[in-house]
Structure 1
């Protein structure tokens, strides 16, 4: 029995060539789901917003260096990070990679002093909605309403305060 390849986490800039295939596939999928070219939307934020001190891009890499999943966050306000571009390559889905990306982004955001995560996902992305609900995010919308009538679906999650010993402290 062969085991799954080990995954390594790399912090990179948006300009890193390993990011481009994920963003290209993400833009193509959004374009199909929403019926308009989504590539411009993906380029809406300057790359600097996804680098220190504002945020960071994280990729999960297979041992051979191929990017299989990734995501980013940017500074939303003084205490809040906004998750963006959570993505798993279509050939690597249903393996828990998006959960791992979200957990790593939360860990890094917390380490950089953020106490809250905010994000939105589109109404035609039920997989993303399910991911955020399953990973402890609070919906900031009526979950019983038709998502198409809401538009972008906002979520938030409060992060635990981490002590110097690396343990979560209660407020």
Structure 2
């Protein structure tokens, strides 16, 4: 069973999983994610990062960070709205895939963002990640205008899910 725990983005378990994500991106895209990331982006109440543990070993992760609000130093993108929560660093270690862990992480991110008053979840992924796209669309995410560092990339796909 997956035990989801709020975890600082710069915690060693989160850092290890983020390193695995970057290696995965290297295989898919030929480079890592260049999006500006700061551990403080995931500090409650303006964000949250979780690590999923199996037998006390971190095997999955994901986070959300507030976007589109006046205090958001990353604001200014016309695709963003006040109350947005951007999903970042969703990942499940390869040998743990196919067990519903990504869906569990996503549900927890949605739940906690809603509790924090966020009105819409947004994310960016890429064409080379059809499993991620399938997860998000099956969870009710719909295509939106591209945003962020990859807004001009033809391989970029952005999705949103509004509940308020």
Aligned to 2:77: none
Match of 2:95 among 74, 91, 95: 91
Aligned to 1:138: 142
Match of 1:18 among 13, 19, 25: 13
TM-score by length of 2: 0.82
Residues 1:115 and 2:119 are matched in the alignment: yes
Distance in 1, matches of 2:56 and 2:159, equals 32
Aligned to 2:26: 31
Q: CA deviation at 1:21?
A: 2.1
> Does structure 2 conserve the Cα–Cα contact (< 8 Å) formed by 1:106 and 1:159?
no
User: RMSD of aligned C-alpha atoms?
Assistant: 1.8
Q: CA deviation at 1:22?
A: 1.1
Aligned pairs for 1:15-94 within 5 A: 15-36=10-31, 38=32, 41=34, 44-62=36-54, 64-77=55-68, 78-94=82-98
Structure ID, larger Rg: 1
Residues 1:9 and 2:4 are matched in the alignment: yes
SS in 2 for 1:157: strand
Distance in 2, matches of 1:8 and 1:126, equals 26
SS in 2 for 1:18: helix
- Bigger RCO (CA 8 Å, 6+ sep): 2
Q: Which runs of 4+ in 1 moved over 2 A?
A: none
TM-score by length of 1: 0.79
Aligned to 1:165: none
Deviates more, 1:20-29 or 1:97-106: 20-29
